[in-house]
Structure 1
Amino acid sequence: MAVDHATDIRRIMTGLILGGLLILVLLVRGLPLLAVILAVSALGLWEFFSLFWGPRGRIPSRICAIALGWGMILLSWMHRPQDALVCLGAGFVLAAMSFLFRWDVIEEDVFSSSGIFMAGLAYVPLLLLPATYLSSVKLFFVLAAVAASDTAAYFVGTRCGHHKLWPRVSPNKSSEGAVGSLVACVIFCVVYGLCLGKANWFAFALLGVAINAFAQVGDLFESALKRSVNVKDSGNLLPGHGGVLDRADSVLFAMPMFAVVDQWFCFF
């Protein structure tokens, strides 16, 4: 795969800026962290819907989804996760009503539009909910592990990638990049765990394997979404990375997995 040094520089600079901001936000927590989560939810939803509805399609539906997503996040932030799920249920009721009153008067697949509306709520704000209650040590662990995975996958893949991982889903991803991603993630998790964790190194190595697996699946899932609508990036907000979803796709899958594991095993 050809190496684009200009893209590398943009990617590194954007990553450093984002990393510095995230570290600052995690140190401060409180309203700055909540603002970041709300912003990622809104931007991620907008990009998701743009994949299927175009840049300016169905604005009222987008606003409604963003409001419901913010409601889920705010209620989870206030330690009322059961009420957060009510917002998801309300989204389903609204999508069902839209389908019911439009299916026999509009010459299109209305059910698909309702399904896209619900898929957006489940994909972005629902998967972001663990960010509202995980500690800063745990949040940084997941975010940094995923960042190490993505960075290694990109640089190993662009320089050493010769075997395609899954060409129909993501033609630019290589098996060599996937292996490099796994190794980098496991090494980071073991080092971070030995410094700040309570479990032994082998437990953190296994956790690194799990985080990397879910991160790569999340990355491939978003790649499949883009391929299904013939789009290269979900957006262009982040130079060298693409859109918010292009940067957050791996985290959206890895963070809920870690949140579940964290309920049963004491890593920190």
Structure 2
Amino acid sequence: MLIQRIATSLILAPLFIWAIFKMDGDAFAQLLLVFIAMGAWEFSVLIKLQNIVARLVLTISVVVVAVFISQNALLVPWVLYVSVGWWMVNLYWILVYPHKTNLWFKPIPVRLASSFLLLVPMWIALITLHQQHGAEWFLLLILIIWGADSGAYFTGKAFGKRKLSPKVSPGKSIEGVIGGIGFALVVMLLFLQYQNIAANQYIGYLLLTVLVSSVSVLGDLFESLFKRVSNIKDSGQLLPGHGGVLDRIDSLTAAAPFFLLGLNLL
């Protein structure tokens, strides 16, 4: 499994970095939209849509809504603000799990709404980040998430004792999260030096890094909630060693809106 994971990363990572820097804004947005569609298809399984027609309708609907919002500039900031509020509600569901499950999973309208709120704001945030701030800042977000995820894994393996959320994701530890934040801060510090940003501006960017790397864990845990309730290990099998597309972008679903909004405030 580890060999598969590394091999898949070695193949896909250079291709994705090339796309970030070489594809124009519209083409790159369409590429990301493909991943959104695959994520919606996988999420339809997690919310127990068994009819293939219903799954297809949901996937197409997520794509259509995402494109519609992207074409209406006035809607973009509101979608991001709603996303932030929605993630705060999700934090509550995670903290009280397995209680209150009937409120966020049992009603089919809530499950369907989660599909849109999970994926649409992320896509809007990512394409806006790429188009308005540039490829380097887009890559920075990816590296922050990667640093937080990798740092949490290795730190948790070495020092993890206190479980973060044992009922949702038993493998995650508080020590791992702290280690992940540390790795993410190193990424940001290196980037700030590369960008020649004045040292007196560092504090804002470092605080943003702490927030984004913390929120990325929330995205991971939220997907784990649905996996728990649906009794599914991976969202898919498309990426050898990694599971499905949703398994790879779950951290970004939460982190991207927070990163863009925070970056715009700095």
Aligned to 2:119: 124
Q: How does 1:103-252 map to 2 (within 5 A)?
A: 112-134=107-129, 135-196=134-195, 198=197, 200-252=201-253
1:25-36 residue pairs with structure 2 within 5 A? 25-30=19-24, 31-36=26-31
The more displaced of 76-85 and 20-29 is 76-85
Q: Which amino acid aligns with 1:240?
A: G
CA spacing shift, 1:150–1:61, aligned 2, 3 Å: same
Q: 1:49 aligns with which of 44, 48, 53?
A: 44
TM-score by length of 2: 0.78
CA distance, structure 2, for counterparts of residue 14 and residue 155 of structure 1 = 19
Post-superposition CA distance 1:153-186 (Å, at most 9, x none): 2233234433322110101112232121111011
* 1:206 counterpart SS class: helix
Between the aligned partners of 1:80 and 1:18, the Cα distance in structure 2 is 32
Deviation at 1:80, TM superposition (A): 4.1
Give the whole-Å Cα distance in 1 for the aligned partners of 2:197 and 2:205: 10
TM-score (norm. length: structure 1): 0.78
Of structures 1 and 2, the one scoring higher in RCO (CA 8 A, sep 6+) is 2
C-alpha spacing 1:82/1:174, structure 2 compared with 1 (3 Å): closer
Rounded to whole Å, the distance in 2 between the matches of 1:133 and 1:253 is: 15
Aligned with 1:236: secondary structure?
A: coil
Cα 1:33/1:76, change in 2 over 3 Å:
farther
SS in 1 for 2:228: helix
Contact kept? 1:71, 1:84, Cα under 8 Å: no
CA contact (8 A) 1:189 1:207 kept: no
The secondary structure found in structure 1 opposite 2:47 is helix
Letter in 1 for 2:126: A
Provide closer, same or farther for how the CA distance between residues 82 and 165 of structure 1 changes in structure 2, counting only shifts above 3 A.
closer
Q: How many residue pairs were aligned? A: 234
1:36-76 Cα shifts (integer Å, max 9, x gaps)? 2111111111111101326xx23233222222322233345
Partners of 1:85 and 1:43 in 2: how far apart?
A: 25
Q: Give the greater-gyration-radius structure (CA).
A: 1
Q: 2:51 aligns with which of 58, 63, 86?
A: 58
Q: Percent identity?
A: 30
1:21 match = 15
Q: Contact (CA 8 Å) 1:149, 1:212: kept in 2 or not?
A: yes
